């Protein structure tokens, strides 16, 4: 995770919540009153967000002391203490909600990713994410997928070519779309083509695609169509795949399965912040 970018994002998140100041905390507590808070797991899952906790409180007060007790990607149990932070009470209270929101969501994504990997139970096929992320949180959510054991698809429109159905319709054919792309990009950029029929798969192979996606196709269709794809081309399946039917795709032979629900509809892991009075 890019720490410089993370700090900038944390500053924006805090500004959204704090605005000019935290009226409640500043009116009750003086700057010299020191306190301590702990992050406590309220359910089992995969933890993600150690750098959020560490950097978050220090953005508000560089002198804050933070002790992280678990690492990203570790399994945590209900009742387990995950992290501690000490410093001025007003700073702790200013930051705890934003930090907690982020850690809960990232841990939820890591936990769901880990569950998907276990359900798939494949030594060949890898689970990856999509661009269906929360605006402003893509870096964090994709990091959470990796913490859960998954892989990242492209980060945005800028780091890989993905020729989808609308591109194909406007271009006239897969061959024309790939030809246009190949004539204008360097050798370091991968080209993926989304396919919905066997004919499109064959056209994508002939056009020289680096990656072929089987879009909204059944396991049976994929098993048949993948025989036409040479070993040097990476394959991916996406669309209509849920935890309920994921296991059916385990023996299709695809290299990746991309799952939008890992980020767009995930449930946050239940974690709380408790005050320690000494």
pLDDT tens-digit series, residues 100-133: 999 999 999 999 999 999 999 999 999 999 999 9
Q: Is 94 helix (H, G, I), strand (E, B) or coil?
A: helix
Distance from the Cα of residue 99 to its chain's centroid: 17
17 is catalytic: no
Q: What is the mean pLDDT of the chain?
A: 96
Residues 109 and 132 grouped into a single domain: no
User: pLDDT over 70 for what percent of the chain?
Assistant: 100
Range of the domain at 198: 121-264
Residues 128 and 245 grouped into a single domain: yes
Cα 138–Cα 139–Cα 144 angle in degrees, nearest 5? 95
Categorize the per-residue pLDDT at 1 as very low, low, confident or very high, splitting at 50, 70 and 90: confident
Residues 93 and 132 grouped into a single domain: no
215 is catalytic: yes
Whether pLDDT at 278 is above 70? no
* Catalytic, out of 36, 126, 131, 132: 132
* Catalytic, out of 72, 91, 96, 194: 194
182 is catalytic: no
Q: What contacts 217, CB < 8 A, 6 or more positions away? A: 196, 225, 237, 239
190 is catalytic: no
Residues 247 and 226 grouped into a single domain: yes
pLDDT tens-digit series, residues 216-243: 999 999 999 999 999 999 999 999 999 9
CATH code, domain with 243: 3.20.20.70
Joined together, the tokens standing for residue 155 give 């980060």
- Alpha carbon distance 66, 58 (integer Å): 8
CATH code, domain with 38: 3.90.1170.20
267 is catalytic: no
Joined together, the tokens standing for residue 273 give 């912040």
Residues 109 and 156 grouped into a single domain: no
Domain total of the chain: 2
Residues 172 and 103 grouped into a single domain: no
pTM for this entry = 0.95
């Amino acid at each position: 995770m890019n720490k410089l970018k993370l700090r900038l994002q944390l500053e924006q998140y805090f500004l959204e919540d704090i605005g000019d100041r935290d009226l409640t905390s500043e009116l009750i507590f003086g700057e010299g009153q020191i306190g301590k808070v702990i992050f406590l797991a309220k359910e089992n899952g995969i933890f993600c967000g150690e750098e959020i906790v560490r950097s978050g409180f220090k953005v508000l007060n560089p002198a804050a002391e933070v002790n992280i007790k678990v690492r990203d990607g570790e399994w945590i149990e209900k009742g387990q203490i995950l992290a501690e932070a000490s410093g001025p009470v007003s700073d702790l209270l200013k930051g705890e909600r934003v930090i907690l929101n982020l850690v809960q969501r990232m841990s939820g994504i890591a936990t769901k990713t880990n569950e998907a990997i276990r359900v798939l139970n494949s030594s060949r096929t890898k689970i990856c994410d999509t661009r269906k992320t929360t605006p402003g949180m893509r870096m964090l959510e994709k990091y959470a997928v990796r913490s859960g054991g998954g892989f990242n698809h492209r980060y945005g429109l800028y780091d890989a070519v993905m020729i989808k159905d609308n591109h194909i319709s406007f271009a006239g054919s897969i061959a024309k779309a790939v030809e246009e792309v190949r004539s204008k990009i360097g050798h370091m950029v991968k080209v993926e083509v989304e396919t919905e029929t066997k004919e499109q798969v064959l056209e994508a192979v002939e056009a020289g695609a680096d990656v072929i996606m089987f879009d909204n196709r059944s396991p049976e269709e994929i098993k048949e169509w993948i025989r036409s794809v040479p070993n040097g081309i990476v394959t991916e399946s996406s669309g209509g795949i849920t935890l309920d039917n994921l296991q059916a795709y385990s023996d299709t032979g695809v290299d990746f399965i991309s799952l939008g629900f890992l980020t767009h509809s995930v449930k946050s892991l239940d974690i709380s912040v408790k005050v320690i009075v000494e």
